[in-house]
């Protein structure tokens, strides 16, 4: 059986207010996602390698990244 649900990964800093807003949206919509706090150097290095920046929140949806609260909330509004 194939799973057609999109894969969500959120790169964040726990203390960042915009990250907290994205978490609130994801949790409120009961979206399953992988949380990757960039205070962990491995997650930071991966984010830098893929995007070239350390801007958070950064949400990957099926491998496509969206950075910053405005862009993420706009994108989530289109798919939810």
Dist. CA 31–CA 28, nearest whole Å: 8
Looking at residue 32, which CATH number applies to its domain?
3.40.30.10
1 assigned to some structural domain: no
CB atoms within 10 A of CB 36: 18
2 assigned to some structural domain: no
- State the pTM of this model: 0.90
Query: How many domains in the chain?
Result: 1
Dist. CA 59–CA 16, nearest whole Å: 14
| Per-residue model confidence as pLDDT tens digits over 41-65 | 999 999 999 999 999 999 999 999 9
| Per-residue model confidence as pLDDT tens digits over 9-46 | 999 999 999 999 999 999 999 999 999 999 999 999 99
CA dihedral 49, 50, 52, 53 (to 10 degrees): -100
User: Which residue segment(s) compose the domain that 48 sits in?
Assistant: 8-79
56 assigned to some structural domain: yes
The separation between CA 37 and the C-alpha centre of its own chain, rounded to angstroms, equals: 10
């Amino acid at each position: 059986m194939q799973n057609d649900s999109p894969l969500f990964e959120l790169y964040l800093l726990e203390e960042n207010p915009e990250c907290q807003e994205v978490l609130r949206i994801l949790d409120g919509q009961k979206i399953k996602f992988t949380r990757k706090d960039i205070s962990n150097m491995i997650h930071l290095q991966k984010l830098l390698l893929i995007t070239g920046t350390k801007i958070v929140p950064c949400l990957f949806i099926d491998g496509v990244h969206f950075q910053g609260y405005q862009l993420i909330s706009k994108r989530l509004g289109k798919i939810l």
